[in-house]
Amino acid sequence: MTAVPIPLSDLRRRQPRFTGISPGHRACQGCGELLAARLVTEAAGPDVVVANATGCLEVTTTNWPDSAWRVPWIHSLFENTAAVASGIEAALKAQSRSSKVLAFAGDGGTFDIGFQALSGMIERGHNVLYVCYDNEAYMNTGVQRSGSTPVGAATTTSPAGKERLGKRHLKKDILSIIAAHYMPYAATATVAYPADLRHKVRRAIEVEGPTFLLVHSPCPQGWGHDGSRTVEVARLGVQSGLVPLIELERGAVTGVMPIREPRPVADYLKAQARFRHLFADSAEAARELQHLQALAEHNIERYGLSAPGPEAHDSEGADTVRRGGNQWA
Amino acid sequence: MPLALEGSQAIARAVALCRPQVVSAYPITPQTHIVENIAKLVADGALDCEYVSVESEHSAASTALGAAAAGARAYTATASQGMLYMSEVLFDISGLRVPLVLTCANRALSGPLSIWNDQSDSMAVRDAGWIQLYCTSNQEAIDTHIQAFRIAQETTLPVMVCVDGFTLTHTMEPLELPAQETVDAFLPAHRFARMLDPQAPLTIGTMVGPEAYSEVRHDHHHALLAAADNILRANADWAAASGRDWGGLLRASGPADARIGILGLGSLIGTLEDAAEQHPELPPTRIIALRAFRPFPFEALQAICADLDELVVVERAISPGAGAIVAAEVRAALSELPRAPRVHAVAAGLGGRDIGIGLYPNLLEVAQNEKIERFRIIDLDPQRLPEELSA
Ligand SMILES: Cc1ncc(C[n+]2csc(CCOP(=O)(O)OP(=O)(O)O)c2C)c(N)n1
Ligand code: SF4
Ligand SMILES: [Mg+2]
């Protein structure tokens, strides 16, 4: 079979034209968070202002005198990103400027310490897209547990040991909490499905008001997998049902990425050292594994993720079908 | 023509005259009347600005920061616990060299809880890298806010205007509000050269390693020292426009031949001046109002104290375990003089304890003590102290 050459002009058209983050930053190889942020800024385009929380994304991209950012960007503190973004948005409004304000933060800066500011920003209806890069722990400070760390995961402050099987508490259901603000648009996405992610970024930017994206972003360093397997691990998260990809408008589910053949949660967990202790030969470990499997099944049930038969954009084919394809032509 | 206004209302109207584009605020006594009045001005269409009612002081300061970084003239106000709660952001605002104006309606700190006036809150953040200006009266508060916006944008430093809670904020008196044209002529349209702008993207707030952090601090420190000139010029220009001169960095009253000085910050100055008038039998006294606490006016202070034998510093806050705050700095500055006055330190009026005319003779007694008064709270009630401490 001979490959049909794509005319250069067409190739260009299909390529994202704009990159918000330049190469040369200092993130680990295979960092899901950096990949996610690059995809988000590509989809958002150049007419944005970014407020970024303290965390890996900030630290690895702005080592003075270098900056990887090609968009106006400000970092203030760890927990005030939504408030800084609120101020920027208020200023733009006062000056009749129309650029979109983006707020970027990790899961720690969103689920935990920055939550109050985020809730306030949403309640006040600021026109800001808030993106949480969810790597499920405080990575920048050395992999400590956060409100987003899944139950059973070992971190440096929820280690596994004789008496403990990693984190003892459930991952906070942040999306439901956000949606409870009568949120115009809130969605989950992952680096495993860039086309889906881009679509959601564009949708969120269209909305005149607060929007929220939770982007599942594997961290090879903290999760204990090779940097070359970031996308694969992220995909397994979706296919197991543990990481449901959904869209909510005013609290109602308006879109889901279906899973044709759910993979066992163990496939996802086995790929990561942070869950290694769950595969020990003990009744407790087996029970925790079952627990995680049940959580995944609960997600599938709750959001109606099962899709029998082939689907144009299910978790098997979504990325290949939609990459630069019919959706964006 | 003077208007009868409550201090807070006057401050709100003065801020409005400066045409802020973004105001963010979270209520706390005794700051509430200021932000309520601004909200009402916005609601009535008398002030065209984005009024952001945030969910905390941390966010109030952060929202003001974001707005100022995006090039807007920004304002917020707080007091007491709110000041402490936003303190993390205060350091960041000044370190990023983002200009904005904040009113501190000075109030004591918990615990125990007190809503009443002293200056523990602004003193607790004296190292936050902000310009700090203390007002002796509501008229000075009006004029200082107008000057503060100009100083902030000229220096790209944040300015904290301190007004004593209740004593000033809740006092009704006849006040001169300047005309809008006067303010417009004094205060140029806001401009922030490093503003966040997609047409010219800049990165603000990077991570800085040991190779440059010291230089950043050096720059910041020298920017604050250099801001003294901006404060003096703003004061002089505003004096020319309004006819009211608040002395710039500090000001002194009293007979030229006085050998005893009393130094304080804020509204207690008026009380001391009245007291001096009512007590002509007491030794002549120079009453010094320290208007700028940051930048600290070393030279101006040395000049005004060079011919004194005794100086009593009245603190409106305490540094437990050390005692004096302002006096510690005054002593350090005056130690450079060939013939420095003795510097005594007392605190008065903590947590709202009334400062009356009666304080004045007590201060003069301290000045004439044989021993230097290192520090004590001068208006203690021995009845309320445990026996072993009341001696
Ligand atoms: C008030 C405050 N507390 C703690 C820290 C330390 N700190 C900096 S980044 C960070 C963790 C960030 O975690 P997350 O938000 O999940 O981002 P990640 O690094 O994982 O991308 C912590 C705890 C801080 N900078 N400020
Ligand atoms: S620690 Fe994790 S999140 Fe941080 S840069 Fe490395 S891979 Fe990315
Ligand atoms: Mg994280």
Q: Please write the tens of the pLDDT for every residue from A68-92.
A: 999 999 999 999 999 999 999 999 9
Rg of the Cα trace of chain A?
19
**Fold of the domain built from segment(s) B3-242:** Rossmann fold (3.40.50)
**Mean pLDDT (whole number) for A287-296:** 98
pLDDT at A326 over 50: no
Which residues in chain A have their CB less than 8 angstroms from residue B21's CB? 91, 94-95
Min Cα separation A210/chain B (Å): 15
pLDDT at A317 over 70: no
Cβ atoms of residues B265 and B119 within 8 Å: yes
Distances (CA, A) of B383 to B147, B325, B355: 45, 27, 19
Return the DSSP state at A54.
S
Identify the residue whose C-alpha is closest to ligand 2 atom 2: A219
pLDDT band at A316 (very low <50, low <70, confident <90, very high): confident
The rounded distance, in Å, linking the Cα atoms of A278 and A286 is 7
Q: What is the pLDDT of residue A195?
A: 94
Min Cα separation A104/chain B (Å): 14
Binding pocket residue ranges, ligand 1, CB within 6 Å? A 33, 54-57, 78-79, 105-109, 133, 135, 138-141, 146
The rounded distance, in Å, linking the Cα atoms of B106 and B115 is 10
Q: Which of residues 80-139 of A touch B (CB under 8 A)?
A: 80, 82-95, 99, 116-117, 119-120, 123-124
Min Cα separation A23/chain B (Å): 16
Which residues in chain B have their CB less than 8 angstroms from residue A72's CB? 196-198, 200-202
Subunit contact A83:B209, Cβ cutoff 8 A: no
Helix/strand number for chain A, H first, E second? 12, 8
The rounded distance, in Å, linking the Cα atoms of A225 and A271 is 6
Centroid of ligand 3 to alpha carbon of B189 (angstroms):
42
Residues whose CB is less than 8 angstroms from the CB of residue B320 and which lie 6 or more positions away in sequence, other chains included = none
Beta pairing, strands B3-6 & B172-175? antiparallel
The rounded distance, in Å, linking the Cα atoms of A29 and A16 is 22
Ranges assigned E (strand) in B113-176: 131-134, 159-164, 172-175
Q: Which atom of ligand 1 is nearest to the CA of A219?
A: 20
Query: Half-sphere exposure (CA, 13 Å, Cβ side) for A211?
Result: 22
Min Cα separation B231/chain A (Å): 27
Question: Which of B55, B62, B202 shows the shortest C-beta gap to A72?
Answer: B202
pLDDT in tens, A170-211: 999 999 999 999 999 999 999 999 999 999 999 999 999 999
Identify the residue whose C-alpha is closest to ligand 1 atom 3: A78
pLDDT band at A329 (very low <50, low <70, confident <90, very high): very low
Calculate the dihedral angle through the C-alpha atoms of A86, A89, A91, A97, rounding to the nearest 10 degrees: 180
Instruction: Dump the DSSP string for B313-353.
Output: EEESS-BTTTB-SHHHHHHHHHTTSTTPPEEEEEE--GGG-
Which residues in chain B have their CB less than 8 angstroms from residue A93's CB? 50
pLDDT band at A328 (very low <50, low <70, confident <90, very high): very low
**What tokens does A129 get?**
């897209």
The rounded distance, in Å, linking the Cα atoms of A286 and A280 is 8
Cβ atoms of residues A190 and A215 within 8 Å: yes
Q: State the Cα angle at B233 between B246 and B317, rounded to 5°.
A: 45
Q: What is the pLDDT of residue B309?
A: 98
Beta pairing, strands B22-25 & B74-78? parallel
The rounded distance, in Å, linking the Cα atoms of B23 and B60 is 9
**Fold of the domain built from segment(s) A8-318:** Rossmann fold (3.40.50)
Q: Which of B87, B203, B211, B219 to mutate to test the interface with A (most CBs of A within 10 A)?
A: B203
Q: What is the pLDDT of residue A315?
A: 82
Q: What is the pLDDT of residue A325?
A: 38
The rounded distance, in Å, linking the Cα atoms of B220 and B231 is 16
Cβ atoms of residues B34 and B169 within 8 Å: yes
pLDDT in tens, A126-181: 999 999 999 999 999 999 999 999 999 999 999 999 999 999 999 999 999 999 99
Q: Which of A69, A74, A141 to mutate to test the interface with B (most CBs of B within 10 A)?
A: A74
Q: What is the pLDDT of residue A3?
A: 65
Subunit contact A80:B74, Cβ cutoff 8 A: no
Which parts of chain B have pLDDT scores under 70? 391
Q: What is the pLDDT of residue B256?
A: 97
CATH class of this structure's domain B250-390: alpha beta
Q: What is the pLDDT of residue B1?
A: 84
Closest chain B residue to the Cα of A85, Cα to Cα: B66
pLDDT band at A254 (very low <50, low <70, confident <90, very high): very high
Identify the residue whose C-alpha is closest to ligand 1 atom 24: A78
Which residues in chain B have their CB less than 8 angstroms from residue A84's CB? 62-63, 65-66, 69
Q: What is the pLDDT of residue A10?
A: 67
Q: What is the pLDDT of residue B389?
A: 74
Cβ atoms of residues B67 and B94 within 8 Å: no
State whether residue A48 sits within 8 Å of chain B by CB.
yes
Using DSSP's 3-state secondary structure scheme, residue A18 falls into coil
Which residues in chain A have their CB less than 8 angstroms from residue B85's CB? none
Subunit contact B63:A99, Cβ cutoff 8 A: no
pLDDT at A15 over 90: no
Query: Half-sphere exposure (CA, 13 Å, Cβ side) for A272?
Result: 27
- Provide the residue ranges of all domains of chain B, joining segments of one domain with +: 3-242, 250-390
The rounded distance, in Å, linking the Cα atoms of A290 and A288 is 5
Which residues in chain A have their CB less than 8 angstroms from residue B200's CB? 72
Q: Which atom of ligand 2 is nearest to the CA of A133?
A: 3
**What tokens does A227 get?**
């940097």
Centroid of ligand 1 to alpha carbon of A201 (angstroms):
24
Question: Which of A67, A77, A79 shows the shortest C-beta gap to B203?
Answer: A67
